[in-house]
Amino acid sequence: MTELSIAGEISLEQLHSLLAEAVTDELSGVDVMTEELEFRIKSILTGKA
């Protein structure tokens, strides 16, 4: 029984860690997309599309 509760705590910590990483990856992906969109918009506005 003790092993199960310890394993449960470890997997919860791992889950939390994985969720934090996933959120961070998602946010950095959005930043990259935003920068790319800004670049494209500026290119179009300056006539360099």
H or E element at residue 48? none
More confident call, 5 vs 18: 18
Question: How much is the average pLDDT of 12-29?
Answer: 88
Question: Over the stretch 21-35, which tens digit does the pLDDT of each residue have?
Answer: 999 988 888 888 999
Mean pLDDT across the chain = 83
More confident call, 47 vs 12: 47
Q: What pLDDT sits at residue 34?
A: 92
Q: Is pLDDT above 60 for 10?
A: yes
Q: What DSSP string runs through 28-44?
A: HHHHHHHHHHHHHHHHH
